[in-house]
Homo-oligomer: A and B are copies of this chain.
């Protein structure tokens, strides 16, 4: 077998059996190997940001890495923004990036680039294969790197001759490392801090927002009266009826400062220290008071659930019923003009059980969380790196990971445009995704931020940089262009009707929800 086949066999043996691809000439032997070896599902994206974002979404739901297949340095570059988001999400991905044959690189052909240099800012592990015979071993190391808790970005650069030359066979990947247990002192210190009650905040992130962790957090709160919140953005929150419901730290700095002003001690469980998304003149970056102490119970790569369980045991809270349990209570279906609250109420009323909500609703969607708290159990996925264009691709990957669940992709019309090519992959793979485009025909977030940074009131030129209404985007036509059925909703009744229709459809459906 050639190197490409040895790599594909190694990936499959290592549990990496989904490949999101946008290949070119230098990757043809890898593509050919897919015909030779059973067990790898290949999904084509028409732009590399779709490919890498899909791998992020896949990992968040499947908890194991997918691979990507990208075309040399520029192909990787097109995927970097969503790799940035994936890295911040702690998603494990094995990138396979084609490269010129080793003897061809010296000639500086058009596509020659510093691939390692492009990879490094968004990769935890980078290697360029040096021969076909060592390629399988490199692949096994890449898988091992990608599986490092909580999940890492591994980039293996594959010169074409390492793919087409003769190899010896596949390589075995060592077992995935379990997340490290936290030290007993951390547990004791956290338990002590949490015993102070309401002035202590237990801040959850990462695996701290999975159901098991949340239950221990709820028990700890029931016992101690501490506050429990989630970070502002989270890779995956398990929530809905019967689960412990926690609010997120607000995005708007003044709101976050007001929310956290009584906090004197913050205990971090899978979460990072709370800081603002951006800096603003005269406002602090740190969102808790200056005198606030902090204790790190568990970092993102550690076993957060076990740490919370240990704290609960330490506090003798292991069996108490959790505080903050959500009851099953849907919102009423609203009517009339489209408002953020109205959108939330429609979602709360109709969200199907086990839905996966991919939230890139930006400004319009900031208030949607409370309306869905008592909907049936579901997962909620945020953008972790702040690079716009994560939503549609992550919805693709989540749907590949969980074909029997409905994915609800909440998109801004501005943010959706960065990676709209994901719609085609949804159509091609008949993915069970409902896309809701919140069409306010502007970069609405920037209108607020313009004032927040103290830039005053925008004049005509600045306004032109924040408005998308000349011409208006027609998302129904864009969806049709990508092979997806779509409709427009102008009020909440139409939205509810379209949303019900979308849920009944097996396959993708797009609703352009007009916000005026």
Contact = CB atoms under 8 A, between A and B. Distances in A.
A418 to B, nearest CB: 5
B455 A32 contact: yes
Interface in A108-128: 108-111, 113-114, 117-118, 120-122
A341 to B, nearest CB: 25
B109 A456 contact: no
A31 interface: yes
B110 A453 contact: no
A473 B483 contact: yes
Interface in A98-142: 100-101, 103-104, 107-111, 113-114, 117-118, 120-122
A358 B508 CA distance: 35
A417 B477 contact: no
Nearest to A120: B117
A462 B31 contact: yes
A104 B284 CA distance: 9
Interface string A447-460: 00110111110111
A275 interface: yes
B421 A417 contact: yes
Interface stretch (A254-262, A463-471, A491-499): A463-471
B279 A100 contact: yes
A452 B28 CA distance: 10
Contacts of A452: 25
A104 B46 CA distance: 36
Contacts of A477: 477-478, 480-481
Q: Residue among A81, A120, A466 with the most chain B CB within 10 A?
A: A81
Contact of A160 (B111, B453, B468): B453
Interface residues of A, number: 104
Interface string A1-42: 000000000000000000001011110110110110000001
Contacts of A273: 107
Nearest to A32: B455
A476 to B, nearest CB: 8
Contact of A461 (B34, B455, B471): B34
B107 A414 contact: no
B47 A109 contact: no
A266 B479 CA distance: 52
A458 B32 contact: yes
A462 B233 contact: no
Interface string A480-492: 1111000000000
A475 interface: yes
Given A25-B446, A25-B449, 6 more contacts: A35-B462, A75-B387, A113-B122, A160-B278, A160-B453, A420-B420
24 contacts: A25-B277, A28-B449, A32-B462, A35-B459, A42-B461, A42-B464, A73-B84, A74-B385, A77-B81, A78-B81, A78-B387, A88-B110, A100-B279, A103-B279, A104-B285, A107-B273, A110-B384, A110-B385, A114-B121, A117-B121, A164-B281, A424-B471, A477-B481, A478-B478
- 5 A-B pairs with the lowest CB-CB distances in the bound complex, closest first: A471-B483, A74-B387, A35-B459, A478-B481, A104-B279
